[in-house]
């Protein structure tokens, strides 16, 4: 592969002005759109020696056949042009968004003579004002039912409204008190429009104003002994309080903001968009994103905000993000033009905002896990994953049994390894194993030791009870079969594929273990976490699976499961180690050991504590505290 791209512009040809650039393939299709404050500086990164590029960036620039750029006068103009081109060309190498679902919205049809409130998934109703999205349709209907008690605006269909206005007979919802529009003959068009304005103001965050106003009117009517009017105000106030009770006050009562929680890995990201009006979460929207080329956290936030507000009608005064984009000032100006007033982009660092950001991020992490595991839970997707893996690795048969190995340690100590097993694309947790490694030089040596022990099982009769051997001990999670005394299945059944967590060094160690064990018929590969590329033995370049590949999702899940299992075993081992050390202290039983570890939170904190601090723990006297301190200091 040539190290210089044939379409690389000549030196000095690229301007240093702000602008937007496009990579095209040989057929003229736009592959990638990006913006830059300095076009020459940004594009020079793409034309660096190919061996230095991120694997997925290299795939994009080698697929492209040309690059072009457009100079603009300001950074804000480049942001706007980038958004327009991404929307127009839908480039395959830009991040791609997927709504987790089609969310329902509450919409007020302001373009109508007598606006009505409806539940809809259509975001293109002319002149409509939208609220939400809501997680469930019933949640929107419940909100509307409560709201029209306080703000009785029209809910009937356009056909019912026209018929009622022509005949003079109220629509059916109006007859039963569910519609307060002009068709009910109780208000004029102008009066109804005023109620619609109040409805929108309340939904947009004017909670306190309406609550105070209705309370004032109710008390005034009661003082005038107009108890019928006071009862109406009371009912409206109850309806408003019921709406407010459905969403807790998460920020200050006058806070209007959008908050974005983001969780990401090398290939995907999940976004939780919390819409906060009047200090309350009025709607939540979830997005998943497929990433093709290397993109930083600030760049991802930039893309998410462009997508969220490119065609938005409702831009809040504050936008909270996990990290500021590099062009935050230009984004603020761009959003200000849409809102007509100042917009602030800020990082949620402390207090209620930070708490809410943690909640949104947690939701995003869970959504990312669901996104990655959804495909492997489907039979068709699993079959496709195994077929794709067979083709990508050049195997003669699909790998029906895959075993994945991971090494974990704590600063070179407490070295452990894990083995997880997937059959037909599904985990076999009863066959998971964990390993303690007593002596090792590095991760590759640990990998070699563990795989040598595992492969030795293939040459033993199934009934034989295998020895743990020097330095390597196997452990498995207890199953119902084990608990009842029945023998757990042995590992005479060989895997078709061994997967290791790591790149070329780890794969080389695994291949050496296969050769030394005489089992070269088993395929082996590694998945490197930083770039998510697949490494094969003796290959100078990795296999790059498409971001939408079912095979890549399966390998990621295997790797993540092996990592989780290794960490779990390591933590358990550390707890057992310190418990065994403390159990040697005279007078210190299991109950007091548990209280000690719970109080200090970690072994490090307990070792650093002096006798006076240890004595403060319930049930620990001065003599026992001194004995604990002395014992830990000498170990």
Beta-carbon count within 10 A of 154 CB: 31
> Is it true that 19-94 and 379-570 share their CATH fold?
no
Check whether domain 19-94 has CATH 3.40.1440.10, yes or no? yes
Which conformational region is residue 502 in: left (phi greater than 0), alpha (psi within -120 to 50 degrees), or beta?
A: left
- Measure the CA–CA gap between 57 and 59, rounded to whole angstroms: 5
Q: Is pLDDT above 50 for 467?
A: no
Return the minimum-mean-pLDDT range out of 247-251, 267-271, 396-400, 595-599: 247-251
Any idea which fold 583-633 has? Answer: DNA polymerase; domain 1 (1.10.150)
Q: How far apart are CA 534 and CA 241, in angstroms?
A: 56
> Highest-confidence range of 42-56, 60-74, 180-194, 241-255, by mean pLDDT?
60-74
pLDDT in tens, 17-70: 888 999 998 888 888 898 888 888 888 888 888 777 776 788 788 888 899 888
Query: Is 3.30.160.40 the CATH number for 257-372?
Result: no
326-332-336 Cα angle (round to 5) = 165
Instruction: Give the pair of three-digit tokens for residue 161.
Output: 């409204």
What pLDDT was estimated at residue 402? 92
CB contact at 8 A, 106 and 134:
yes
Q: Any idea of the CA torsion for 125, 126, 128, 130, to the nearest 10 degrees? A: 50
Higher pLDDT, 513 or 80: 513
Give the least confident one: 11-15, 163-167, 204-208, 319-323: 204-208
User: Is it the case that residue 141 has pLDDT exceeding 50?
Assistant: yes
Of 144-158, 418-432, 600-614, highest mean pLDDT: 418-432
Predicted structure pTM score: 0.50
pLDDT of the residue at 489: 52
* CATH code matching the domain that covers 379-570, chosen among 3.30.420.340, 1.20.1070.10, 3.40.190.10, 3.40.50.300: 3.30.420.340
* Extents of the domains making up the chain: 19-94, 105-205, 257-372, 379-570, 583-633
Lowest mean pLDDT among 20-34, 53-67, 149-163, 595-609: 595-609
The lowest-confidence range among 125-129, 135-139, 459-463 is 459-463
């Amino acid at each position: 592969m040539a190290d210089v791209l044939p379409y690389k512009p000549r030196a000095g040809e690229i301007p240093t002005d702000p602008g937007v650039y496009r990579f095209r393939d040989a057929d003229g299709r736009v592959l990638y759109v990006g913006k830059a404050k300095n076009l020459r500086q940004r594009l020079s990164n793409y034309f660096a020696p190919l061996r230095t590029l991120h694997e997925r960036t290299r795939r994009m620039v080698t697929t492209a056949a040309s690059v072009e750029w457009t100079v603009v006068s300001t950074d804000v103009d480049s942001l706007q042009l980038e958004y327009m081109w991404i929307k127009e060309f839908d480039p395959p190498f830009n991040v791609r968004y997927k709504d987790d679902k089609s969310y329902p919205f509450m919409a007020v049809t302001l373009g109508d003579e007598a606006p009505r409130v409806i539940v809809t998934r259509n975001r293109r109703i002319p002149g409509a004002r939208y609220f939400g999205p809501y997680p469930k349709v019933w949640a929107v209907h419940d909100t509307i039912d409560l709201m029209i008690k306080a703000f009785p605006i029209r809910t009937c269909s356009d056909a019912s409204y026209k018929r009622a206005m022509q005949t003079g007979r109220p629509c059916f919802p109006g007859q039963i008190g569910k519609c307060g529009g002009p068709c009910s003959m109780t208000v004029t068009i102008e009066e109804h429009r005023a109620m619609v304005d109040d409805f929108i103001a309340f939904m947009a965050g004017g909670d306190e104003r309406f609550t105070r106003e209705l309370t004032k009117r109710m008390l005034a009517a009661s003082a005038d002994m107009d108890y019928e009017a006071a009862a109406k105000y009371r009912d409206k106030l109850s309806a408003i309080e019921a709406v407010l009770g459905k969403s807790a006050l998460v920020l200050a009562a006058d806070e209007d903001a959008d908050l974005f929680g983001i969780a990401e890995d090398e290939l995907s990201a999940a976004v939780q968009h919390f819409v906060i009006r009047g200090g309350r979460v009025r709607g939540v929207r979830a997005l998943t994103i497929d990433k093709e080329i290397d993109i930083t956290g600030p760049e991802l936030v930039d893309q998410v905000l462009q997508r969220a507000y490119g065609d938005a009608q409702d831009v809040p005064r504050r936008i909270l993000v996990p990290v500021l984009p590099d062009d935050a000032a230009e984004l603020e100006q761009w959003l200000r033009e849409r809102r007509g007033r100042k917009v602030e982009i800020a990082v949620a660092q402390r207090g209620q905002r930070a708490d809410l950001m943690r909640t949104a991020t947690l939701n995003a992490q869970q959504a990312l896990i669901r996104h990655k595991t959804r495909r492997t839970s489907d039979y068709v997707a699993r079959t496709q994953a195994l077929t794709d893996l067979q083709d990508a690795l050049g195997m003669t048969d699909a790998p029906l049994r895959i075993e994945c190995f991971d090494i974990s340690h704590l600063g070179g100590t407490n070295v452990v390894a894990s083995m997880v097993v997937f059959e037909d694309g599904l985990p076999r947790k009863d066959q998971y194993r964990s390993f303690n490694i007593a002596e090792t030089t590095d991760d590759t040596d640990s990998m070699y030791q563990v795989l040598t022990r595992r492969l030795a099982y293939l040459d033993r009769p199934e009934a034989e009870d295998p020895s743990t051997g020097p330095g390597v001990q196997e452990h498995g999670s207890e199953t119902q079969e084990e608990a009842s005394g029945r023998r757990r299945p042995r590992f005479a059944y060989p895997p078709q594929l061994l997967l290791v967590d790591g790149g070329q060094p780890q794969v080389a160690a695994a291949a050496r273990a296969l050769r030394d064990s005489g089992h070269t018929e088993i395929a082996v590969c590694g998945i490197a976490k930083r770039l998510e590329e697949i490494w094969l033995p003796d290959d100078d370049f990795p296999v790059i699976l498409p971001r939408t590949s079912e095979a890549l999702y399966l390998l990621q899940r295997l790797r993540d499961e092996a990592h989780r299992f290794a960490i779990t075993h390591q933590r358990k081992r550390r707890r057992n180690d310190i418990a065994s050390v403390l159990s040697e202290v005279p007078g210190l039983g299991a109950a007091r050991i548990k209280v000690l570890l719970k109080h200090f939170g970690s072994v490090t904190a307990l070792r650093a504590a002096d006798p006076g601090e240890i004595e403060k723990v319930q049930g620990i006297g001065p003599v026992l505290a001194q004995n604990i301190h002395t014992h830990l200091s000498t170990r």
